[in-house]
Structure 1
Protein backbone atom coordinates (compact mmCIF):
# COMPACT_ATOMS: atom_id res chain seq x y z
CA UNK A 1 0.00 0.00 0.00
CA UNK A 2 1.07 3.58 -0.62
CA UNK A 3 0.48 4.26 3.08
CA UNK A 4 3.62 2.34 4.01
CA UNK A 5 6.50 4.69 4.67
CA UNK A 6 4.41 7.86 4.65
CA UNK A 7 5.04 10.01 7.70
CA UNK A 8 1.73 10.98 9.27
CA UNK A 9 1.00 13.45 12.08
CA UNK A 10 -2.36 13.14 13.85
CA UNK A 11 -3.98 15.70 16.12
CA UNK A 12 -6.50 14.64 18.73
CA UNK A 13 -4.62 11.35 18.84
CA UNK A 14 -5.21 10.48 22.49
CA UNK A 15 -8.60 8.85 21.90
CA UNK A 16 -11.40 8.11 19.47
CA UNK A 17 -10.84 8.65 15.76
CA UNK A 18 -7.34 10.05 16.26
CA UNK A 19 -6.09 7.07 18.24
CA UNK A 20 -7.75 4.59 15.87
CA UNK A 21 -6.21 6.36 12.88
CA UNK A 22 -2.74 6.30 14.41
CA UNK A 23 -3.02 2.58 15.19
CA UNK A 24 -4.32 1.69 11.75
CA UNK A 25 -1.83 3.73 9.74
CA UNK A 26 1.05 2.50 11.88
CA UNK A 27 -0.08 -1.09 11.27
CA UNK A 28 0.18 -0.36 7.53
CA UNK A 29 3.77 0.81 7.86
CA UNK A 30 3.40 4.57 8.37
CA UNK A 31 5.54 6.28 11.01
CA UNK A 32 3.11 8.33 13.11
CA UNK A 33 3.54 11.46 15.19
CA UNK A 34 0.85 11.66 17.84
CA UNK A 35 -0.40 15.05 19.00
CA UNK A 36 -2.85 15.81 21.82
CA UNK A 37 -2.99 17.45 25.24
CA UNK A 38 -3.31 14.27 27.31
CA UNK A 39 0.29 13.17 27.38
CA UNK A 40 -0.31 10.08 29.52
CA UNK A 41 -2.63 8.64 26.89
CA UNK A 42 -0.26 9.63 24.08
CA UNK A 43 2.64 7.91 25.77
CA UNK A 44 0.61 4.75 26.26
CA UNK A 45 -0.51 4.74 22.62
CA UNK A 46 3.02 5.35 21.34
CA UNK A 47 4.27 2.47 23.49
CA UNK A 48 1.49 0.21 22.19
CA UNK A 49 2.30 1.00 18.56
CA UNK A 50 6.02 0.49 19.13
CA UNK A 51 5.43 -2.82 20.90
CA UNK A 52 3.45 -3.96 17.87
CA UNK A 53 6.36 -3.22 15.56
CA UNK A 54 5.31 0.24 14.43
CA UNK A 55 7.04 3.60 14.74
CA UNK A 56 5.48 6.34 16.83
CA UNK A 57 6.45 9.44 18.73
CA UNK A 58 4.24 11.52 21.02
CA UNK A 59 4.16 15.32 21.26
CA UNK A 60 2.00 17.39 23.58
CA UNK A 61 -0.13 19.56 21.30
CA UNK A 62 -2.86 22.10 21.93
CA UNK A 63 -4.12 22.96 18.44
CA UNK A 64 -5.15 26.43 19.61
CA UNK A 65 -1.45 27.25 20.05
CA UNK A 66 0.36 27.83 16.72
CA UNK A 67 3.70 27.04 18.34
CA UNK A 68 2.46 23.60 19.35
CA UNK A 69 1.42 22.82 15.79
CA UNK A 70 4.81 23.92 14.50
CA UNK A 71 6.45 21.65 17.08
CA UNK A 72 4.34 18.71 15.89
CA UNK A 73 5.43 19.24 12.29
CA UNK A 74 9.04 19.88 13.25
CA UNK A 75 9.11 16.66 15.27
CA UNK A 76 7.96 14.68 12.23
CA UNK A 77 10.70 16.20 10.08
CA UNK A 78 13.39 15.79 12.73
CA UNK A 79 12.53 12.18 13.63
CA UNK A 80 11.49 10.80 10.25
CA UNK A 81 12.94 13.21 7.69
CA UNK A 82 9.67 14.56 6.28
CA UNK A 83 5.91 14.96 6.80
CA UNK A 84 3.59 13.49 4.18
CA UNK A 85 0.17 13.71 5.82
CA UNK A 86 -1.36 15.88 8.53
CA UNK A 87 -4.58 14.41 9.91
CA UNK A 88 -6.48 17.27 11.56
CA UNK A 89 -8.78 15.41 13.91
CA UNK A 90 -8.91 17.51 17.09
CA UNK A 91 -12.38 18.91 17.65
CA UNK A 92 -14.93 19.84 20.30
CA UNK A 93 -18.66 20.46 20.35
CA UNK A 94 -21.15 22.28 22.52
CA UNK A 95 -24.77 21.35 21.94
CA UNK A 96 -27.56 23.85 22.53
CA UNK A 97 -29.79 26.33 20.74
CA UNK A 98 -28.19 29.52 19.48
CA UNK A 99 -30.60 31.43 21.75
CA UNK A 100 -28.85 29.93 24.78
CA UNK A 101 -26.05 32.42 23.97
CA UNK A 102 -23.21 30.12 24.99
CA UNK A 103 -20.61 32.66 23.91
CA UNK A 104 -17.77 30.87 25.69
CA UNK A 105 -18.72 27.60 24.01
CA UNK A 106 -18.91 29.28 20.61
CA UNK A 107 -15.44 30.75 21.06
CA UNK A 108 -14.01 27.41 22.15
CA UNK A 109 -15.41 25.66 19.08
CA UNK A 110 -14.06 28.33 16.75
CA UNK A 111 -10.65 28.19 18.45
CA UNK A 112 -10.30 24.40 18.20
CA UNK A 113 -12.36 23.45 15.15
CA UNK A 114 -11.44 26.34 12.85
CA UNK A 115 -8.33 28.06 14.13
CA UNK A 116 -6.81 24.71 15.08
CA UNK A 117 -7.06 23.61 11.45
CA UNK A 118 -5.61 26.90 10.26
CA UNK A 119 -2.70 26.53 12.65
CA UNK A 120 -2.05 23.09 11.23
CA UNK A 121 -2.07 24.43 7.68
CA UNK A 122 0.31 27.23 8.66
CA UNK A 123 2.72 24.72 10.18
CA UNK A 124 2.55 22.01 7.49
CA UNK A 125 2.18 23.96 4.24
CA UNK A 126 5.75 25.30 4.09
CA UNK A 127 7.06 21.75 4.56
CA UNK A 128 4.72 20.40 1.88
CA UNK A 129 5.79 23.15 -0.51
CA UNK A 130 9.45 22.42 0.12
CA UNK A 131 8.92 18.70 -0.46
CA UNK A 132 6.71 19.22 -3.50
CA UNK A 133 3.95 17.09 -1.98
CA UNK A 134 1.73 16.78 1.06
CA UNK A 135 -1.75 15.80 2.15
CA UNK A 136 -4.13 17.52 4.55
CA UNK A 137 -6.79 15.11 5.82
CA UNK A 138 -9.29 16.86 8.06
CA UNK A 139 -12.16 15.34 10.04
CA UNK A 140 -15.29 17.45 9.67
CA UNK A 141 -18.82 16.10 10.25
CA UNK A 142 -22.16 15.19 8.73
CA UNK A 143 -23.51 17.89 11.05
CA UNK A 144 -22.37 20.33 8.39
CA UNK A 145 -24.31 18.45 5.70
CA UNK A 146 -27.61 17.92 7.51
CA UNK A 147 -28.27 20.97 9.68
CA UNK A 148 -30.21 20.20 12.84
CA UNK A 149 -31.30 22.33 15.81
CA UNK A 150 -28.87 22.67 18.76
CA UNK A 151 -25.83 22.06 16.51
CA UNK A 152 -25.82 25.28 14.52
CA UNK A 153 -22.53 26.74 15.67
CA UNK A 154 -20.76 23.38 15.63
CA UNK A 155 -22.00 22.76 12.09
CA UNK A 156 -20.89 26.27 11.15
CA UNK A 157 -17.33 25.57 12.27
CA UNK A 158 -17.23 22.32 10.30
CA UNK A 159 -18.59 23.98 7.16
CA UNK A 160 -16.06 26.77 7.53
CA UNK A 161 -13.29 24.16 7.43
CA UNK A 162 -14.87 22.39 4.46
CA UNK A 163 -14.93 25.71 2.56
CA UNK A 164 -11.37 26.52 3.58
CA UNK A 165 -10.01 23.18 2.33
CA UNK A 166 -11.81 23.48 -1.00
CA UNK A 167 -10.36 26.96 -1.53
CA UNK A 168 -6.89 25.71 -0.62
CA UNK A 169 -7.29 22.81 -3.03
CA UNK A 170 -8.11 25.14 -5.91
CA UNK A 171 -5.17 27.36 -5.02
CA UNK A 172 -2.75 24.41 -4.98
CA UNK A 173 -3.43 22.34 -8.09
CA UNK A 174 0.14 22.89 -9.32
CA UNK A 175 1.90 22.36 -5.99
CA UNK A 176 1.48 18.68 -5.17
CA UNK A 177 -0.94 19.38 -2.30
CA UNK A 178 -3.94 17.14 -1.70
CA UNK A 179 -6.83 17.96 0.64
CA UNK A 180 -9.44 15.57 1.98
CA UNK A 181 -12.46 16.26 4.17
CA UNK A 182 -13.77 13.22 6.04
CA UNK A 183 -17.37 13.68 7.25
CA UNK A 184 -18.36 11.02 9.78
CA UNK A 185 -21.82 10.65 11.24
CA UNK A 186 -22.29 9.15 14.69
CA UNK A 187 -19.05 7.60 15.92
CA UNK A 188 -18.43 6.09 19.35
CA UNK A 189 -16.00 8.67 20.74
CA UNK A 190 -15.65 11.00 23.72
CA UNK A 191 -16.81 14.01 21.69
CA UNK A 192 -20.04 14.49 23.62
CA UNK A 193 -18.49 14.13 27.07
CA UNK A 194 -18.32 17.91 27.44
CA UNK A 195 -20.99 18.81 24.90
CA UNK A 196 -23.71 19.63 27.43
CA UNK A 197 -23.76 20.66 31.08
CA UNK A 198 -26.87 18.67 32.10
CA UNK A 199 -25.63 15.26 33.41
CA UNK A 200 -28.92 13.49 32.68
CA UNK A 201 -29.03 14.76 29.10
CA UNK A 202 -25.37 13.89 28.63
CA UNK A 203 -26.02 10.34 29.84
CA UNK A 204 -28.94 9.91 27.44
CA UNK A 205 -26.86 11.22 24.55
CA UNK A 206 -24.01 8.88 25.46
CA UNK A 207 -26.42 5.96 25.48
CA UNK A 208 -27.73 6.86 22.03
CA UNK A 209 -24.21 7.27 20.72
CA UNK A 210 -23.14 3.90 22.10
CA UNK A 211 -26.16 2.21 20.51
CA UNK A 212 -26.04 3.89 17.11
CA UNK A 213 -22.45 5.02 16.59
CA UNK A 214 -19.91 3.19 14.45
CA UNK A 215 -16.47 2.18 15.63
CA UNK A 216 -13.71 4.82 15.21
CA UNK A 217 -11.73 2.19 13.31
CA UNK A 218 -14.20 2.59 10.42
CA UNK A 219 -13.17 6.24 10.07
CA UNK A 220 -9.52 5.24 10.33
CA UNK A 221 -9.98 2.90 7.38
CA UNK A 222 -11.58 5.70 5.37
CA UNK A 223 -8.64 7.97 6.14
CA UNK A 224 -6.23 5.22 5.07
CA UNK A 225 -8.19 4.84 1.81
CA UNK A 226 -7.75 8.55 1.04
CA UNK A 227 -4.06 8.51 1.94
CA UNK A 228 -3.46 5.34 -0.08
CA UNK A 229 -4.44 6.88 -3.42
CA UNK A 230 -1.67 7.54 -5.98
CA UNK A 231 -0.31 11.06 -6.09
CA UNK A 232 -2.41 12.03 -9.10
CA UNK A 233 -5.68 11.08 -7.36
CA UNK A 234 -7.38 13.12 -4.65
CA UNK A 235 -10.33 12.05 -2.53
CA UNK A 236 -11.75 15.50 -1.90
CA UNK A 237 -14.74 14.77 0.34
CA UNK A 238 -15.75 11.47 1.88
CA UNK A 239 -18.98 11.03 3.86
CA UNK A 240 -19.65 8.02 6.07
CA UNK A 241 -22.27 7.26 8.69
CA UNK A 242 -24.05 4.38 10.41
CA UNK A 243 -26.47 2.72 8.02
CA UNK A 244 -29.26 3.39 10.56
CA UNK A 245 -28.54 7.11 10.87
CA UNK A 246 -31.32 9.28 9.47
Structure 2
Protein backbone atom coordinates (compact mmCIF):
# COMPACT_ATOMS: atom_id res chain seq x y z
CA UNK A 1 0.00 0.00 0.00
CA UNK A 2 1.43 3.45 -0.87
CA UNK A 3 2.62 5.67 1.93
CA UNK A 4 0.06 8.32 0.99
CA UNK A 5 -3.42 6.94 0.53
CA UNK A 6 -4.63 9.65 -1.90
CA UNK A 7 -1.68 9.61 -4.31
CA UNK A 8 -3.00 10.22 -7.81
CA UNK A 9 -6.36 11.51 -6.57
CA UNK A 10 -7.77 14.96 -7.30
CA UNK A 11 -9.89 16.74 -4.71
CA UNK A 12 -12.02 19.87 -4.94
CA UNK A 13 -12.74 21.76 -1.71
CA UNK A 14 -15.17 24.68 -1.56
CA UNK A 15 -14.86 27.47 0.98
CA UNK A 16 -11.15 26.71 1.06
CA UNK A 17 -9.76 30.17 1.79
CA UNK A 18 -9.95 29.75 5.58
CA UNK A 19 -11.20 27.61 8.44
CA UNK A 20 -12.33 24.05 7.81
CA UNK A 21 -11.89 24.36 4.04
CA UNK A 22 -8.29 25.52 4.22
CA UNK A 23 -7.42 22.92 6.86
CA UNK A 24 -9.05 20.19 4.76
CA UNK A 25 -7.14 21.25 1.64
CA UNK A 26 -3.87 21.02 3.56
CA UNK A 27 -4.79 17.65 5.08
CA UNK A 28 -5.80 16.05 1.79
CA UNK A 29 -2.66 17.40 0.12
CA UNK A 30 -0.62 15.81 2.90
CA UNK A 31 -2.26 12.48 1.93
CA UNK A 32 -0.99 12.93 -1.63
CA UNK A 33 -4.04 14.44 -3.34
CA UNK A 34 -3.86 17.32 -5.78
CA UNK A 35 -6.29 19.87 -4.36
CA UNK A 36 -8.34 22.46 -6.25
CA UNK A 37 -9.38 25.10 -3.71
CA UNK A 38 -12.51 27.11 -4.48
CA UNK A 39 -13.61 30.36 -2.86
CA UNK A 40 -14.18 34.01 -3.68
CA UNK A 41 -11.11 35.78 -2.23
CA UNK A 42 -8.18 34.80 -4.49
CA UNK A 43 -5.47 36.26 -2.25
CA UNK A 44 -6.34 33.98 0.68
CA UNK A 45 -6.60 30.97 -1.61
CA UNK A 46 -3.12 31.74 -2.91
CA UNK A 47 -1.78 31.75 0.65
CA UNK A 48 -3.24 28.30 1.30
CA UNK A 49 -1.78 27.09 -2.01
CA UNK A 50 1.61 28.43 -0.92
CA UNK A 51 1.29 26.55 2.38
CA UNK A 52 0.59 23.32 0.52
CA UNK A 53 3.48 23.90 -1.87
CA UNK A 54 5.77 24.56 1.09
CA UNK A 55 5.00 21.13 2.54
CA UNK A 56 5.66 19.43 -0.79
CA UNK A 57 2.07 19.13 -1.95
CA UNK A 58 0.14 20.51 -4.91
CA UNK A 59 -2.77 22.90 -4.46
CA UNK A 60 -4.27 25.35 -6.94
CA UNK A 61 -6.57 28.30 -6.35
CA UNK A 62 -9.85 28.52 -8.25
CA UNK A 63 -11.59 31.83 -7.58
CA UNK A 64 -15.32 31.37 -8.11
CA UNK A 65 -18.69 32.42 -6.71
CA UNK A 66 -20.33 29.02 -6.44
CA UNK A 67 -23.71 30.56 -5.64
CA UNK A 68 -23.76 31.21 -9.39
CA UNK A 69 -24.42 27.94 -11.25
CA UNK A 70 -22.23 28.97 -14.18
CA UNK A 71 -19.32 29.79 -11.88
CA UNK A 72 -19.78 26.50 -10.02
CA UNK A 73 -19.70 24.54 -13.26
CA UNK A 74 -16.66 26.48 -14.40
CA UNK A 75 -14.82 25.66 -11.15
CA UNK A 76 -15.43 21.95 -11.68
CA UNK A 77 -14.50 22.14 -15.35
CA UNK A 78 -11.32 24.09 -14.54
CA UNK A 79 -10.31 21.28 -12.21
CA UNK A 80 -10.99 18.71 -14.94
CA UNK A 81 -9.08 20.73 -17.55
CA UNK A 82 -6.03 20.97 -15.27
CA UNK A 83 -5.91 17.48 -13.86
CA UNK A 84 -8.15 15.27 -16.00
CA UNK A 85 -10.22 13.79 -13.19
CA UNK A 86 -12.07 14.42 -9.92
CA UNK A 87 -12.01 11.87 -7.10
CA UNK A 88 -13.09 13.79 -4.00
CA UNK A 89 -15.54 16.67 -3.52
CA UNK A 90 -15.75 18.43 -0.15
CA UNK A 91 -18.70 20.82 0.03
CA UNK A 92 -17.62 23.11 2.84
CA UNK A 93 -18.67 26.63 1.77
CA UNK A 94 -21.25 28.06 4.15
CA UNK A 95 -22.25 30.93 6.37
CA UNK A 96 -24.05 31.28 9.71
CA UNK A 97 -26.16 34.40 10.28
CA UNK A 98 -28.09 34.03 13.51
CA UNK A 99 -31.07 36.00 14.80
CA UNK A 100 -34.77 35.56 15.50
CA UNK A 101 -37.33 35.69 12.70
CA UNK A 102 -38.55 39.00 14.11
CA UNK A 103 -35.14 40.67 13.96
CA UNK A 104 -33.45 39.04 10.94
CA UNK A 105 -33.63 40.52 7.46
CA UNK A 106 -34.85 38.54 4.47
CA UNK A 107 -31.52 39.39 2.81
CA UNK A 108 -29.66 37.47 5.52
CA UNK A 109 -31.95 34.48 5.07
CA UNK A 110 -31.46 34.56 1.30
CA UNK A 111 -27.70 34.80 1.76
CA UNK A 112 -27.63 31.66 3.91
CA UNK A 113 -29.86 29.69 1.54
CA UNK A 114 -27.76 30.80 -1.42
CA UNK A 115 -24.43 29.69 0.04
CA UNK A 116 -25.43 26.83 2.33
CA UNK A 117 -27.88 25.18 -0.08
CA UNK A 118 -27.83 26.47 -3.65
CA UNK A 119 -24.03 26.64 -3.96
CA UNK A 120 -23.67 23.08 -2.68
CA UNK A 121 -26.27 21.86 -5.18
CA UNK A 122 -24.59 23.68 -8.06
CA UNK A 123 -21.15 22.20 -7.38
CA UNK A 124 -22.47 18.73 -6.63
CA UNK A 125 -24.56 18.58 -9.80
CA UNK A 126 -21.59 19.66 -11.92
CA UNK A 127 -19.22 17.18 -10.24
CA UNK A 128 -21.25 13.96 -10.10
CA UNK A 129 -20.54 12.64 -13.64
CA UNK A 130 -16.79 13.05 -13.14
CA UNK A 131 -16.85 11.44 -9.70
CA UNK A 132 -18.65 8.44 -11.18
CA UNK A 133 -16.01 8.22 -13.89
CA UNK A 134 -13.20 8.47 -11.32
CA UNK A 135 -14.72 5.66 -9.26
CA UNK A 136 -14.58 3.35 -12.26
CA UNK A 137 -11.03 4.23 -13.31
CA UNK A 138 -9.09 4.91 -10.10
CA UNK A 139 -6.99 2.25 -8.36
CA UNK A 140 -9.09 2.92 -5.24
CA UNK A 141 -12.25 2.04 -7.23
CA UNK A 142 -14.19 4.63 -5.26
CA UNK A 143 -14.87 8.36 -5.20
CA UNK A 144 -16.18 10.53 -2.38
CA UNK A 145 -18.49 13.43 -1.64
CA UNK A 146 -18.30 14.87 1.88
CA UNK A 147 -20.75 17.58 2.89
CA UNK A 148 -19.91 19.75 5.89
CA UNK A 149 -23.00 20.29 8.01
CA UNK A 150 -23.23 21.11 11.72
CA UNK A 151 -24.83 20.01 14.96
CA UNK A 152 -27.44 22.54 13.73
CA UNK A 153 -28.48 19.83 11.27
CA UNK A 154 -29.57 17.70 14.23
CA UNK A 155 -30.71 20.10 16.94
CA UNK A 156 -32.83 23.23 16.51
CA UNK A 157 -32.19 26.22 18.75
CA UNK A 158 -33.76 29.68 19.02
CA UNK A 159 -32.21 32.31 16.78
CA UNK A 160 -31.06 29.64 14.31
CA UNK A 161 -34.25 28.94 12.37
CA UNK A 162 -32.98 29.44 8.81
CA UNK A 163 -29.49 28.19 9.62
CA UNK A 164 -31.17 25.06 11.03
CA UNK A 165 -33.31 24.91 7.89
CA UNK A 166 -30.25 24.85 5.64
CA UNK A 167 -28.45 22.22 7.71
CA UNK A 168 -31.46 19.95 8.32
CA UNK A 169 -32.03 20.06 4.56
CA UNK A 170 -28.40 19.17 3.92
CA UNK A 171 -28.77 16.06 6.07
CA UNK A 172 -31.72 14.83 4.00
CA UNK A 173 -30.05 15.66 0.69
CA UNK A 174 -26.90 13.81 1.71
CA UNK A 175 -28.73 10.63 2.71
CA UNK A 176 -30.83 10.54 -0.46
CA UNK A 177 -27.77 11.21 -2.63
CA UNK A 178 -25.90 8.46 -0.80
CA UNK A 179 -28.57 5.96 -1.81
CA UNK A 180 -28.66 7.23 -5.40
CA UNK A 181 -24.91 6.84 -5.91
CA UNK A 182 -24.38 3.52 -4.08
CA UNK A 183 -24.19 1.50 -7.28
CA UNK A 184 -21.91 4.06 -8.96
CA UNK A 185 -19.03 3.61 -6.53
CA UNK A 186 -19.40 7.13 -5.10
CA UNK A 187 -19.59 7.32 -1.31
CA UNK A 188 -21.52 10.22 0.16
CA UNK A 189 -21.02 11.33 3.75
CA UNK A 190 -21.68 14.22 6.07
CA UNK A 191 -19.58 15.69 8.88
CA UNK A 192 -21.37 17.60 11.63
CA UNK A 193 -19.00 19.80 13.64
CA UNK A 194 -20.03 21.20 16.98
CA UNK A 195 -18.73 24.37 18.60
CA UNK A 196 -15.90 25.69 16.48
CA UNK A 197 -13.06 28.15 16.79
CA UNK A 198 -14.12 29.54 13.41
CA UNK A 199 -14.62 32.69 11.38
CA UNK A 200 -18.30 31.82 10.95
CA UNK A 201 -19.25 33.91 13.97
CA UNK A 202 -17.36 36.90 12.56
CA UNK A 203 -20.26 37.37 10.13
CA UNK A 204 -22.68 38.01 13.00
CA UNK A 205 -23.80 41.39 14.25
CA UNK A 206 -22.36 42.63 17.53
CA UNK A 207 -25.29 41.59 19.73
CA UNK A 208 -25.67 38.14 18.17
CA UNK A 209 -21.90 37.64 18.12
CA UNK A 210 -21.75 38.33 21.86
CA UNK A 211 -24.67 35.97 22.50
CA UNK A 212 -22.98 33.20 20.50
CA UNK A 213 -19.77 33.68 22.44
CA UNK A 214 -21.65 33.58 25.76
CA UNK A 215 -23.29 30.32 24.68
CA UNK A 216 -19.87 28.84 24.01
CA UNK A 217 -18.34 30.22 27.19
CA UNK A 218 -16.43 27.56 29.10
CA UNK A 219 -16.24 25.22 26.11
CA UNK A 220 -12.90 24.45 24.53
CA UNK A 221 -13.88 24.74 20.88
CA UNK A 222 -12.92 22.42 18.07
CA UNK A 223 -10.20 23.56 15.70
CA UNK A 224 -10.61 23.47 11.95
CA UNK A 225 -7.90 20.81 11.86
CA UNK A 226 -10.08 18.50 13.98
CA UNK A 227 -12.80 18.55 11.35
CA UNK A 228 -10.27 18.24 8.53
CA UNK A 229 -8.97 15.07 10.17
CA UNK A 230 -12.51 13.66 10.25
CA UNK A 231 -12.88 14.37 6.52
CA UNK A 232 -9.51 12.78 5.82
CA UNK A 233 -10.60 9.67 7.71
CA UNK A 234 -13.80 9.35 5.68
CA UNK A 235 -12.18 9.63 2.25
CA UNK A 236 -9.21 7.37 2.96
CA UNK A 237 -11.16 4.24 3.95
CA UNK A 238 -10.87 1.22 1.70
CA UNK A 239 -13.71 0.77 -0.75
CA UNK A 240 -15.56 -1.75 1.41
CA UNK A 241 -15.99 0.87 4.17
CA UNK A 242 -18.39 3.82 3.95
CA UNK A 243 -18.47 6.33 6.79
CA UNK A 244 -21.71 8.09 5.94
CA UNK A 245 -22.09 10.33 8.99
CA UNK A 246 -19.67 11.70 11.56
CA UNK A 247 -20.73 13.89 14.47
CA UNK A 248 -17.73 15.72 15.95
CA UNK A 249 -18.53 17.74 19.06
CA UNK A 250 -16.32 19.76 21.34
CA UNK A 251 -15.60 17.64 24.40
CA UNK A 252 -17.59 19.90 26.75
CA UNK A 253 -20.54 20.55 24.43
CA UNK A 254 -23.97 19.48 25.72
CA UNK A 255 -26.13 20.06 22.63
CA RMSD of aligned residues (A): 1.8
Please name the residue that 1:220 is paired with.
Answer: 228
Give the Cα separation in 1 of the matches to 2:126 and 2:95.
21
Deviation at 1:204, TM superposition (A): 5.8
TM-score by length of 2: 0.90
- Aligned mate of 1:120, from 120, 123, 128: 123
Deviation at 1:62, TM superposition (A): 1.4
1:1-246 alignment runs, 5 A limit: 1-131=4-134, 132=136, 133-195=142-204, 197=205, 199-203=206-210, 205-206=212-213, 208=216, 212-246=220-254
Give the Cα separation in 2 of the matches to 1:209 and 1:140.
22
**CA contact 2:219–2:253 (8 Å) conserved in 1:** no
Task: Give 3-state SS (helix, strand or coil) of 2:67's partner.
Answer: coil
Task: Give 3-state SS (helix, strand or coil) of 1:173's partner.
Answer: helix
Deviation at 1:206, TM superposition (A): 4.7
TM-score by length of 1: 0.93
Deviation at 1:72, TM superposition (A): 2.0
Give the Cα separation in 2 of the matches to 1:148 and 1:157.
13
Give the Cα separation in 2 of the matches to 1:136 and 1:157.
18
For structure 1, the 5+ residue unaligned runs are none
Which structure has the higher relative contact order (CA within 8 Å, separation 6+)? 1
Q: Deviation string for 1:19-69 (max 9, x for gaps)?
A: 011111111211110111111000111112112210011010212011222
For structure 2, the 5+ residue unaligned runs are 137-141
Give the Cα separation in 2 of the matches to 1:188 and 1:152.
22
Number of residue equivalences? 244
Give the Cα separation in 1 of the matches to 2:26 and 2:133.
28
Kindly tell me: are residues 119 and 58 of structure 1, through their superposed partners in 2, closer, same or farther at Cα, counting changes over 3 Å?
same
